[in-house]
Structure 1
Amino acid sequence: MIESTVLQIFKRRLPSARRRAVAAATIAALILTAAGASAQQATPSTTPPAELGARIEKLVKEHKGKATVALKNLKTGETFSINPDEPMPTASLIKFPVMVEAYRQAAEGKIDLNAPVTLRKKDMVPGSGVLTYHFSDGATFPLVDAVHLMITYSDNTATNIVLDAVGIGSTAATMEKLGYPNTKIHSKVFRRDTSVFPDRSKVFGLGSTTAGEMVKLFEALQAKKLVDEKSSEAMWKHLLTCDDKAKFPRFLPAGTKVAFKTGSVDEARTCAGVIETKGGPVALCVMTNANEDQSWGDENAGNVLCAKTAREVYDYFTAKAPPSPTAAASSGEAAATK
């Protein structure tokens, strides 16, 4: 790459002395950039980002309710957290682990994601989603479509259809085997009578997890280590289509890629996923509970906390990103021609 860049410089119509100066400055810039990138890859930093941590702590302190946070830059290894091991209610965030269980069982041949499922009127429950309000009793579609609706639109009826296929208790059992003992879905949505963890249902509602476990789960997914590579890629595509723009995506620059899932109930707002930044992908989880603001709408305080935290993360790691070789070369050339 250095050779081709220097060759382009010598092809330009500049005095020979000028060309030598520009080439020397460009080579120096490219070497420094390459060395910095190599060092960063060889020795990832795990030092907590103090400046970012202070900003997030301020946001959490100002929030009127309980909040936990965990993050990890999956390129540099930098981490920060606030009470990452405290179990919290998930609301619909727990649908992400349910998807993992569906793909695990499919990979093992226990279920067929392409097999048709039939929507029955008795399956229809209220709340988020499209099946209850826009599909007819008897509608038939592949199980994988129910998984997609469960993630993209947080469809409650679709979630219950998926749970019928995989079993309510199987998600918790798999999460525990993988090292996520606090990550459990307790029952079907709006069907507390189906709870397999009645005591936890009373405390946490639909599901429970910790911010730390969510970050580790998304880290494993981003590394394509959940189930298998093909399943990980399929799950990632589902998460890229999540339509809740009031949380992580809200304040991010247009076009920022975020693979994520959210949850919302009166007292809690949750969000977890991976945000692409110029400084590397960052796994982030923000969970809130006992919120004073229980309104429904984008301006809900829990939503705003999720959105502001995501923007702080994006800005911090983007600002820290080393310049690209092209930018470094251009800077070196500009300095040499002054």
Structure 2
Amino acid sequence: MPRPRLVLRALLAVLSILIWSPVTMVAGAQGSDAALRTEVQRLLDALPAQTSLYAEHVPSGRTIAIRADQPMSTMSVIKVPIMLQAYRDAQAGTLSLDERHTIREEELRGGTGLLKRFGVGLAPTMRDLIDQMIITSDNTATDLVLARVQRARVNTLMQEIGLPNTRMLHSIGDFFRLLQAAYDPSRATWDDVQVYRARTPAGVSADLLAAIRFRFTADTSMWLGRTTAREMSVLLRGLLDAKFANREHSDAMLRHLRGQFYTTRLPATLRYAAGVTVAHKTGDFPPISGSDVGIIEYEGGPIVISVFTNGNTGDFAVLENTIGQIAAKLVNAWK
């Protein structure tokens, strides 16, 4: 018959394992994440730019936040809220994703996208426009979708879902008009066709042009949109969890993000890894701004991540590769 003292010692040993093992595991994870955060911040701080990041490992709830509540210029990342408003309208029955719009010359926009390369008169569906807005960051498609869902409604939606810092400040057309006015104030009254056809003013040197563009992007009133890294990650997590739209429409939005054509930044390294998919949206004004937000899907994930850079004065390729390095480090650490 076992001695009472030995039985008591055995019970205490079992209790010790049950009580202290989870604490040790959590403490170990916290210590590991502290080192990971230090390394991520080191990479961000090495960039000659304003930077912010928020990342969440969805299965464990572990997070890294670096200046995550600092308002940042979105550039094309603001197209994700536009997409959400369009799909909510589709869910409500006030917008058909199959409705077609015939593109007119005055609706063409410069910058990113493919629709400007087709002849005027193309009639894509609303679904096609949303897809191009996301996967090629098409600016023509963006303003067409925005005209349908209305900028004020996008901003109201962001407020309603608890993202008070996320706002679209200008349409694409107005943003480019403001940029042209920064080059030459007389261009402030140009119509959309004139803005689309605009060329750099004669006699403006490359250095002066770069300085004008840098001052322009530093003026917060000229931003296309603003957000924070934390808020954009909350929005992405809401798509993942079907919190802001039903499962059908949330899955459709995730498919758009998975179709992203641009493979630098978040997927720069991960695109070569087996079993990894990056559903993401870029936003840039090279070489001054290059951001990326997305959902990294892999066996131990997913990770929701938002990385913003503004005011970059260094090599843009280094900026893009740094974001890719950070994404790869997170995947390797959070399994």
Q: TM-score, normalised by structure 2?
A: 0.75
Query: Counterpart in 1 of 2:92?
Result: 108
Query: Counterpart in 1 of 2:83?
Result: 99
1:305 is aligned with what amino acid?
T
1:70 is aligned with what amino acid?
Y
1:246 is aligned with what amino acid?
T
46 and 74 in structure 1: CA distance in 2 versus 1, 3 angstrom threshold = farther
Query: Counterpart in 1 of 2:325?
Result: 308
Find the partner of 2:40 among 48, 56, 72: 56
Find the partner of 1:164 among 147, 155, 166: 147
Stretches of 4+ moved more than 2 A in 1? Answer: 45-48, 192-195
Query: Counterpart in 2 of 1:263?
Result: 283
Q: Secondary structure, in 3 states, of the residue corresponding to 2:78? A: helix
Contact 2:49 2:309 in 1 (8 A): yes
173 and 202 in structure 1: CA distance in 2 versus 1, 3 angstrom threshold = farther
- The percentage of aligned residue pairs carrying the same residue is 30
Find the partner of 1:272 among 293, 314, 317: 293
Q: What's the offset of the Cα at 1:193?
A: 8.3
Contact 1:277 1:317 in 2 (8 A): no
> Mean Cα displacement is larger for which, 186-195 or 161-170?
186-195
Summarize the alignment of residues 146-295 of structure 1 with structure 2, pairs less than 5 Å apart.
Answer: 146-192=129-175, 202-203=219-220, 205-252=223-270, 253-266=273-286, 267-293=288-314, 295=316
Q: What's the offset of the Cα at 1:194?
A: 8.8
Contact 1:118 1:141 in 2 (8 A): yes
Q: Secondary structure, in 3 states, of the residue corresponding to 1:274? A: strand
Contact 1:101 1:171 in 2 (8 A): yes
Q: What's the offset of the Cα at 1:110?
A: 2.0
Please, what is the CA RMSD of the aligned residues? 2.4
1:238 is aligned with what amino acid?
H
Q: What's the offset of the Cα at 1:305?
A: 2.2
Q: Distance in 1 between matches of 2:125 and 2:266?
A: 30
2:151 is aligned with what amino acid?
I
Q: Secondary structure, in 3 states, of the residue corresponding to 1:247? A: coil
> Mean Cα displacement is larger for which, 271-280 or 119-128?
271-280
Q: Secondary structure, in 3 states, of the residue corresponding to 1:275? A: strand
194 and 112 in structure 1: CA distance in 2 versus 1, 3 angstrom threshold = farther
Q: Secondary structure, in 3 states, of the residue corresponding to 2:233? A: helix
Q: Distance in 1 between matches of 2:326 and 2:165?
A: 23
Summarize the alignment of residues 76-91 of structure 1 with structure 2, pairs less than 5 Å apart.
Answer: 76-91=60-75
Show CA shifts across 1:176-201 (max 9, x none). Answer: 10000111112221423899xxxx99
Query: Counterpart in 2 of 1:124?
Result: 108
Show CA shifts across 1:34-75 (max 9, x none). Answer: x9xxx8xxx9x9958212111101101211111001011111
2:70 is aligned with what amino acid?
E
More helix by share: 2
Runs of 5+ consecutive residues of structure 2 not aligned to the other structure? 1-17, 179-216
Q: Secondary structure, in 3 states, of the residue corresponding to 1:95? A: helix
Q: Distance in 1 between matches of 2:274 and 2:265?
A: 14
78 and 147 in structure 1: CA distance in 2 versus 1, 3 angstrom threshold = same
Runs of 5+ consecutive residues of structure 1 not aligned to the other structure? 1-34, 319-338
Q: What's the offset of the Cα at 1:225?
A: 1.6
2:99 is aligned with what amino acid?
A
Show CA shifts across 1:71-109 (max 9, x none). Answer: 111110001110111110011111111100110111112
Show CA shifts across 1:9-54 (max 9, x none). Answer: xxxxxxxxxxxxxxxxxxxxxxxxxx9xxx8xxx9x9958212111
Summarize the alignment of residues 25-64 of structure 1 with structure 2, pairs less than 5 Å apart.
Answer: 47=30, 49-64=33-48
Q: What's the offset of the Cα at 1:254?
A: 4.6
1:224 is aligned with what amino acid?
A
Q: Distance in 2 between matches of 1:276 and 1:139?
A: 35
Q: Distance in 2 between matches of 1:307 and 1:193?
A: 29
247 and 193 in structure 1: CA distance in 2 versus 1, 3 angstrom threshold = closer
1:79 is aligned with what amino acid?
T
